[in-house]
Amino acid sequence: MSFPSGGGVVIVVSAASRLCPPGWAGIARLGDAAVITVPDEAQALLFRRAVADTQVESVEALMRPGTLRALLPVVDVLGPATLAYLAKDGFRPEVGGAAAGCLPPGHGDLRALAGLAGAEDAAESGIDEIDSPVFVVRDGPEVVAAAGYRRWPVSTAHLCVLTAPQQRGRGLARRVASEAVAHALDAGLLPQWRARPEASRRVAAALGFRELCGQLSVRLGLAQSLG
């Protein structure tokens, strides 16, 4: 799928879409164009009706949870989040600071970090989805910050970063993320950073990422009539 070149919205049935959790609808916006992926034709019909039969003033309005709740039987929302990208000549690596080590994905010390951060933050970070080397900072034997990436289509490296709550504000996320970004760039990949919290957006900006897209996921309740 691709964004419509003249602006507007394209709706695609894709049960395996990576824009959203399984069974959800995912919306990605780039300027005045948007791609919406839905898991089945029933949800595609709902979105087509919402886009065609209502006065949505702009594609940007589709990124507002309140707008979607007024148009569709939304029962849960994730986001909105920003998607930022980094070209090699725009990279501002973090120098100095804590020494970073390296672990394989799925290492037990990473699972311990996820436990420290809590289920919600760990899931948001995507720490268990990393398929690259994982760059870490330790406090004694304990991993307190980690970053790596998952390879996405079109040579994209989707960054995954997690810091233990009690260690935040020390620049550790920048340190490990800088190592992961450098690894991705050396592999010829395009680093991608997805962020909801403002602190995460600041880390990305410090490394040189530019925000280009918006993303939102919604789960619909289809018990309501489609008629």
Provide the 8-state DSSP code for 155: T
pTM of the model: 0.77
Q: Is the peptide bond before 80 cis (omega within 30 degrees of 0)?
A: yes
Tokens of 164: 């233990």
Measure the CA dihedral 35/185/80/71, to 10°: 10
Phi, psi of 23 (to 5 degrees): 85, -5
pLDDT confidence tier of residue 55, bands split at 50, 70 and 90: low
The correct CATH number of 87-208 out of 3.40.630.30, 3.40.50.10800, 3.40.50.2000, 3.90.550.10 is 3.40.630.30
Side-chain-side CA neighbours of residue 123 (13 Å): 6
pLDDT confidence tier of residue 20, bands split at 50, 70 and 90: confident
Q: What pLDDT, in 10s, does the model give residues 86-113?
A: 999 999 999 888 889 999 999 999 999 9
Q: What pLDDT, in 10s, does the model give residues 159-177?
A: 999 999 999 999 999 999 9
Residue 58 neighbours by CB under 8 Å, 6+ apart: 32
* Residue at token pair 């990305």: 204
Q: Chain-wide mean pLDDT for the chain?
A: 90
CB 188, CB 63: distance < 8 Å: no
Q: What pLDDT, in 10s, does the model give residues 56-66?
A: 557 878 888 88
Residue 94: the pLDDT is 93
Q: What pLDDT, in 10s, does the model give residues 171-216?
A: 999 999 999 999 999 999 999 998 888 889 999 999 999 998 888 9
CA-CA distances (angstroms) from residue 173 to 105, 128, 161, 203? 17, 17, 7, 7
Residue 143: the pLDDT is 97
- Any idea how long the chain is? 227
CB 2, CB 38: distance < 8 Å: no
Residue 18: the pLDDT is 79
Provide the 10 A C-beta neighbour count for residue 214: 20
Q: What are the residue boundaries of the structural domains of the chain, listed by start?
A: 8-82+214-220, 87-208
CA distance 32 to 53: 19
